Amino acid sequence: MATAMNIPPLSFIISSFLCVLLFGARCLCESVPGMYVLGDSIVDVGNNNYLPLALAKANLHYNGIDFPTGIATGRFSNGKNIADFLAEKMGLPSPPPYLSLVSIFKKLSSSNAMVSGVSFASGGAGILNEMEELFWQSISFTKQVGYYSLVHEQLVQQLGSDEAQAHLSKSLFVVIIGSNDLFNYFNKNSKSSKEYTPQQFVDLMVSTLKGHLKRLYELGSRKFVITGVVSIGCCPAQRKDSSTGDCNAEINTWSMKYNDGLKALLHELKTELSDIHYSYCETYDVLNNLVQHPETYEFTEIKEACCGCGSTLKAEFPCTPISTYCLNRENHLFWDLYHPTEHTSSVFADSIYSGSQQITFPMNVEKLVNA
């Protein structure tokens, strides 16, 4: 029969448990010391708040209604977005907006925040620079890469060249972009559609992105997390133009064509630059699965925006304080006319991080961490 002397005290058990948790988190942070995010409104955490003329902003209530602070932060969501959830999985703080680290003199602060990651993502951004003009102000992908080059300089000064390279080679570079370019091309007043066939346009998107990814490689990036464009024709803004609320099949077709080009590009990059590692997530299939089998994740509304205005799917105007919003955000696929709810973003983040080889290849992020 065991005596009291053989039973570890409760304080020891609790301490040991906490050590395991802390040690595990520390190890993950050592494996992924930083996360650098480039992209559009799907992962914007507030950069556009610092652009006085930007049309695409999410700094008004009811955005952020389910965020821990309960206030709008510049995220196009009722709460957290994909970038927030991925950072949590890495044991990292959510990367702050790049523009929040820049002083009024346009100089980067020496904040340690840059070591654990920075977000350059901007609502309205596209792979092609014309998106910046369309939204008056947004941070184009070209400019985002340029801003990262300044962060790279700062890290070299702060850590030294060798340590900065070691740090960046283990960090994750999350790239989620492309939807806005396609939205713009298929807009009725698009100049691009007069200059390019759809195939020429998606080829231009792919070749332009390749140049940017190679530039990121030159600046120390080695591990990329890249998603395809989702079935954007199924968002409320596209469905509202159909009398039956159907998805826009044409724009979905070209989203898939772009994704095919993106996958080929990543394969080429890996051939050209053998020390690159990447995880690609076919988020098109993830969203399609949610649309076709919403009950799997307890969604009951897949067409209408939770927050918005208008008699058709609440998709006539963005989410603002004069909008109406749904009380149960958990059961809505879309937060506003374009963007996912926090619940949907968490499903995307889970798929990106630990998805099967059917949707993430050549590996998911969980495996990329140790590649």
H or E stretch at 36: strand 35-39
Q: Output the CA–CA distances (angstroms, integers) from residue 4 to 1, 10, 17, 356, in the order listed.
A: 10, 12, 20, 48
State yes or no: is 336 an active-site residue.
yes
State yes or no: is 84 an active-site residue.
no
Q: Which residues contact 336 (CB under 8 A, 6 or more apart)?
A: 76, 236, 305, 306, 307, 308, 318, 319
How far apart CA 73 and CA 113 sit, in angstroms, is 18
The catalytic residue among 44, 84, 181, 336 is 336
Counting Cα atoms < 13 Å in the Cβ hemisphere of 283 gives 30
Q: Output the CA–CA distances (angstroms, integers) from residue 48 to 73, 126, 206, in the order listed.
A: 10, 14, 25
How far apart CA 151 and CA 358 sit, in angstroms, is 35
Count the neighbouring beta carbons within 10 Å of the beta carbon of residue 30: 10
Specify the length of the chain in residues.
371
DSSP for 242-255? Answer: STT----HHHHHHH
Determine contact, residues 167/155, Cβ cutoff 8 Å: yes
The catalytic residue among 41, 279, 323, 351 is 41
The catalytic residue among 167, 277, 339, 343 is 339
Tell me the two tokens of residue 326.
């749904």
**Residue type at position 327:** L
SS3 content of the chain, % helix, strand, coil (to 5): 50, 10, 40
DSSP for 214-237? Answer: HHHHHTT--EEEEE----GGGSHH
State yes or no: is 346 an active-site residue.
no
Helices and strands (H, E) in the chain, number of each type: 14, 10
Q: Output the CA–CA distances (angstroms, integers) from residue 149 to 21, 43, 50, 205, 343, in the order listed.
A: 35, 20, 20, 21, 33
Q: Active-site positions?
A: 41, 336, 339
